[in-house]
Structure 1
């Protein structure tokens, strides 16, 4: 028997390839399916099943394209309703995989159709549980996402029963393979590892240690941040179907001349620049939005960009396809090409450019006592801001900066200094602010990490200390 975890760090997402005697299955595939097909070909295996643990909200699954390519059967757990053909399995139903078997465990709570898949080896021993978003390392799936008319309290109560009746009775030595790791918004506080054992989770996971249902509901719900705005869109796409990735790539990889690019700009499209943040700050097309590939690109794109508007791209050379694929992973399909020659061609043609002024943290410290119009904008999350921030800084988390009213609160005479934790989110924020016509701003290099390392004497004198 062969098992491989295929982990995508920028989405904190784990898909799985399992195989026995040349018969394979893929669990929770991403939209770009080439890796699964290549692995099966390399191992001279046939992909027979595609097991989906639930309707994913944080990415678009590759189930439809993979089924079309391989003729594999798409399998969901009980209470699944889709707009395309799938096999809806019964609780406890078993599927043969070569000499191994996969048993469906209906485990509602994260969503009503959520299911885990229990893998038995050729000797009939339980060896692994593919838990989707039901059970993570150190956490459980949040109960406030798409599941009909059920409240988060009702789903949390169902989750308690699931854990008590379906998960805790399992043997301690079973390997736990969840759908996500640290950084995912599908849970509150996932652990750093991408796999564990049932025994370790019984010892260390708070959700498996609480035995009172009322206390469990309170604990699971407490501290939940708002789900990213694109989650409901992705869940709907996964339930109702989508255009093939090949068709999206065909449109998205259209080469656009400078004149064609300008014509599309005039049609009120989104110009998305995915280069490195330093390159962007040094020069960019006016009005473009920066979201660099080096960060959690797809998540920020899904959070900040509208899904109903056309996107045209400016990328580093050779990064065009990666950009399109990573956008498609979170449901973007209206991508209509990229600039031939990139920013260098635009600049060489004498077209207008904009830039962002970068400053070091110690320069900020020197400016604060003498600039009466200085305004500090902290774009980190509320929890980060609460743990420490520059005194008198205004908190507008980046995920809230699609609210134009909040950005418009700045005056023309304000000298705006923007910082995040390390410098990635602040450049995104600066591009959004500039797009709204506010240009008197500076980006603090290194963000909060650099600010708090300023020499203590200068820190106390010029920044006055943390709240």
Structure 2
């Protein structure tokens, strides 16, 4: 028996291969199934089983493509209401994979249709549990993503109560030595306090995980429903798409039009400029948004742009083209791209540099906009007088920013303030809009 963990760092997502006697099960696969196919070829093994722990909100899964390519059976909870060919996998159901056994455990809480997969070794002993978004290392899954989408919907309070019982009655009674393999790690928006560790044991989680400590059900509900991070705009769309099954990865990304730099863009179309902010500030298409390529590009794209909103992508160079398109595909946004191109000749708009010393001496002469998340703002206000509008809410709230003074935008390090400045600038007439960028470290 062999367990292999695969990590998508951009989405802090873990997927898994379990292999026994040249048979492979893939759990919670990423959009592009190539890495699992290559692993199977390398080990002269066959992918027979694909398991989805729930319909994911934060990424588009490749379960349907992998199943169709390899003739593998997809297993999901009956409660998911999957629209693709599948076999139901709920409490009491088992899959024989080579010499090991996979056992379904219904663990609602993050979603009503969540399951965990218990791996029994060749001797029939509990060896590992694949917990999806139910139990993380140092956390449990957030309960507020299924109030409006999915085959089953549930309020956050109802799901939080289900999570209480799933953890206490289904997972914590497992032997302490059982390995815990979650679907996400630190940086994911599917929880609020995940560890950077990629695995643990039931015993360690019972000792150290704040969500598993002794408390009443009501106290747990209060704990779990408080201080959760923001919900990106694309999450509901991803749940619906995963329930249906996504189109094939390679063909879908090849459908994105690659345009020459001098292509005439549609008037008033949204432009997402992924170049570094220094390049963007020197010249960009008017009204474009500077969403720099980086570790969390997919999350921020899906937090700023609506899942029915078409846009152009501007990239730094030809080498970056397919990488950026691939990232959009991970959240199902490749279908929205009107075209991808390098910096066009119409990139003549510039961003003004601010007088940092004047701002330090006379901050009252500026409207300061804090675009950090609510949790960060609650933890520490950097400028007491700042107008607080987190980046995911900014496009819908630009009109709240007064235009009687120059505007200074800040976040925690400079990435979000670059995007926010480019969003605010077209909506503020008559005064300059400045990006405090990484100078925020001086405050």
- TM-score, with structure 2 as normaliser: 0.93
1:31 aligns with 2:34: no
CA distance in structure 2 between the aligned counterparts of 1:222 and 1:258, rounded to whole angstroms: 47
The 10-residue stretch of structure 1 (278-287 or 376-385) with the greater mean CA deviation from structure 2 = 278-287
Note closer, same or farther for the CA distance 1:370–1:172 as it changes in structure 2 (3 Å cut).
closer
CA distance in structure 1 between the aligned counterparts of 2:16 and 2:223, rounded to whole angstroms: 30
1:255 aligns with 2:258: yes
Aligned residues between the structures: 435
Aligned position for 2:323: 322
Aligned position for 1:338: 340
Note closer, same or farther for the CA distance 1:282–1:19 as it changes in structure 2 (3 Å cut).
same
CA distance in structure 1 between the aligned counterparts of 2:183 and 2:357, rounded to whole angstroms: 43
Aligned position for 2:216: 212
Match of residue 367, structure 2, among 368, 375, 395: 375
Note closer, same or farther for the CA distance 1:365–1:129 as it changes in structure 2 (3 Å cut).
farther
SS in 2 for 1:108: coil
Note closer, same or farther for the CA distance 1:444–1:323 as it changes in structure 2 (3 Å cut).
same
Aligned position for 1:366: 358
Aligned pairs for 1:416-427 within 5 A: 416-427=407-418
CA distance in structure 2 between the aligned counterparts of 1:371 and 1:389, rounded to whole angstroms: 12
CA contact (8 A) 2:233 2:307 kept: no
CA contact (8 A) 1:295 1:424 kept: no
CA distance in structure 1 between the aligned counterparts of 2:131 and 2:353, rounded to whole angstroms: 45
CA contact (8 A) 2:62 2:246 kept: no
SS in 2 for 1:357: coil
Q: How much does 1:357 deviate? A: 3.1
CA distance in structure 2 between the aligned counterparts of 1:380 and 1:356, rounded to whole angstroms: 21
CA distance in structure 1 between the aligned counterparts of 2:295 and 2:277, rounded to whole angstroms: 10
CA contact (8 A) 2:403 2:428 kept: no
The 10-residue stretch of structure 1 (127-136 or 218-227) with the greater mean CA deviation from structure 2 = 218-227
Aligned position for 1:396: 389
Q: How much does 1:162 deviate? A: 1.2
CA distance in structure 1 between the aligned counterparts of 2:113 and 2:374, rounded to whole angstroms: 32
1:67 aligns with 2:58: no
Q: How much does 1:393 deviate? A: 1.8
Q: How much does 1:379 deviate? A: 0.9
CA distance in structure 2 between the aligned counterparts of 1:93 and 1:42, rounded to whole angstroms: 30
CA distance in structure 2 between the aligned counterparts of 1:158 and 1:28, rounded to whole angstroms: 22
Match of residue 177, structure 1, among 169, 174, 181: 181
Q: How much does 1:72 deviate? A: 1.1
Match of residue 170, structure 2, among 166, 170, 174: 166
CA distance in structure 1 between the aligned counterparts of 2:84 and 2:363, rounded to whole angstroms: 61
CA contact (8 A) 2:65 2:246 kept: no
CA distance in structure 1 between the aligned counterparts of 2:376 and 2:90, rounded to whole angstroms: 44
Aligned position for 2:137: 137
Aligned position for 1:462: none
CA contact (8 A) 1:417 1:441 kept: yes
Gaps of 5+ in 1: 453-467
SS in 1 for 2:79: coil
Aligned position for 1:456: none
The 10-residue stretch of structure 1 (142-151 or 154-163) with the greater mean CA deviation from structure 2 = 142-151
> Alpha carbon RMSD of aligned pairs, Å?
2.0
Alignment deviations for residues 81-110 of structure 1 (CA, whole Å, 9 cap, x no partner): 022211111312111111122111111111
Aligned pairs for 1:2-151 within 5 A: 2-146=2-146, 148-151=152-155
SS in 2 for 1:285: coil
Aligned position for 1:458: none
SS in 2 for 1:327: helix
Note closer, same or farther for the CA distance 1:64–1:21 as it changes in structure 2 (3 Å cut).
same
Aligned position for 2:433: 441
Aligned position for 1:459: none
